[in-house]
Amino acid sequence: MKENTADGRTVTLKDLASELGIHPSTVSRILHSGSEVARGAASVATAERVRELARKRGYSPNPQAAGLRTRRTRLMGVIVPRLSDLVLAIMYEGIEEAAAELGYSTFVMNSRDDPEEQRRKAETMLARRVDGLIIGDAHLDGSHLRELSARNVPFVLMNRRVPGYPSATCDDVLGGRLVADHLWGSGHRDVAVIAGEPYASTAVDRTGGFVDRWKALGGTISPKAVVWSRFDTVGGHEATETILASGLPRPTAIFAVNDFAAIGAMGTLRSHGLTVGRDVAVVGFNDTSVAAELPIPLSSVRSPMLDIGRTAMRLLKRVLDGETVEPVLLEPTLCIRESSAQSIPG
């Protein structure tokens, strides 16, 4: 409840102070300092009178003024490829939750995964004097990150990691492994991977985890069966067409590193007259809410998206507090559904 004084302005510390006949600095210490300082600043009785009046007048501190003085804004900037990507939207919900707990507010901006835009958006946020950045669209080459480091901008990565920088991500390598175990255990021997964008660690790690485990299990997989693609349904479409046209024996299972690519794949398979789950198994990644709701429910690696967001925010807070923080990997689990439930008769 932001209230106004008689003349329509919002209530300030000075208003409270003069009404009580004490100095603004005393009011400030009472209202905005840790209990130790506040204790030393005024008597218990005065403190109570101040708090009471602040409540009554609906005092709300002016963050511009405080920020100007302290050079901190309690604002965090969040940059994501696009919020209309469900995965990032959910991570952002986690960020918002953790930010609220820590007394921060957050800005989000979409970079559409374009390096130019990434820079531009980061600059806009820094111009707004955010205390730190959560970067959800890091590219593996990391040139932008090097610049930010060099300028001492506090940041953490989210969702995608880049070696050498603090990050909160899903253990994507493990996720890929889980899928390899599952498909191998179900008797599949000819598989293909819709691998995603090669600049994203999510794509590289999931694919790498899968392929390495597959080989460790004794399987083989042709390089031509690993198709890099966009993360959306159209990318899944195109990649699946490529796979089917590759000249390799038709795979009995496809692992897509992203649910939307998986959905695209399912569409293409269907239009080729193949039944998902019977002719070809499909496994996605992230277990977004549609996965379970598809006419043929999609197997998917469930990644703890909310938790990744929360963790990213908390990590950033620790970075701001001057700690050196290590990358955090959160554990995924595999949800097996109709799209990959059948075993291949051995």
Partner DNA sequence: ACCCCCAACCCAATCGTTTGGGTAGCCCGG
Partner DNA sequence: CCGGGCTACCCAAACGATTGGGTTGGGGGT
3-state per-residue secondary structure call for 198-264? CCCHHHHHHHHHHHHHHHHCCCCCCHHHEEECCCCHHHHHHHHHHHHCCCCCCCCEEEECCHHHHHH
| Residue window 260-299: x/- pattern of binding to its own copies, with contact defined by CB under 8 A | ---xx-xx--x------------------xx--xxxx---
| Residue window 1-30: x/- pattern of binding to DNA, with contact defined by CB under 7 A | --------xx-xxx--x---xxxxxx-xx-
Give the helix, strand, coil percentages of the chain, each rounded to 5. Answer: 45, 15, 35
Interface with its own copies by CB under 8 A: which range of 36-44, 54-62, 182-190, 201-209? 54-62
Interface with its own copies by CB under 8 A: which range of 35-43, 122-130, 214-222, 323-331? 122-130
Distance CA 56, CA 269 (A): 66
As a whole number of angstroms, the longest Cα–Cα distance in the chain is: 88
Handedness of CA 282, 283, 288, 291 (dihedral sign): positive
Regarding 158 and contact with its own copies (CB under 8 A), the answer is: no
DSSP structure class, residue 297: P
Distance CA 286, CA 203 (A): 12
Kind and range of the H or E run holding 13: helix 13-20
Regarding 104 and contact with its own copies (CB under 8 A), the answer is: no
State how beta strands 75-80 and 105-110 pair: parallel
Q: At its nearest, how many Å lie between its own copies and the CB of residue 140?
A: 24
Q: At its nearest, how many Å lie between DNA and the CB of residue 96?
A: 23
Interface with its own copies by CB under 8 A: which range of 12-20, 76-84, 211-219, 327-335? 76-84
- Taking CB under 8 A as the criterion, the residue among 20, 53, 67, 212 binding its own copies is 67
* Pick from 151, 158, 161: nearest CA to 208: 161
* Pick from 301, 304, 307: nearest CA to 339: 301
- Taking CB under 8 A as the criterion, the residue among 48, 52, 114, 123 binding its own copies is 123
Residue 279 CB neighbour total at 10 angstroms:
14
Regarding 57 and contact with DNA (CB under 7 A), the answer is: no
Question: What does 233 bind: DNA, its own copies, none (CB cut-off 5 to 8 Å by kind)?
Answer: its own copies
Regarding 32 and contact with DNA (CB under 7 A), the answer is: yes
Q: At its nearest, how many Å lie between its own copies and the CB of residue 32?
A: 13
Cβ pair 155, 78 in contact under 8 A: no
- Interface ranges with its own copies (CB under 8 A): 1-2, 60-65, 67-68, 73, 82-84, 86, 89-90, 92-93, 96, 100, 105-110, 123-124, 126-129, 151, 232-233, 263-264, 266-267, 270, 289-290, 293-296
Residues that bind DNA (CB under 7 A): 9-10, 12-14, 17, 21-26, 28-29, 31-33, 40-46, 59-62, 65-66, 68-71
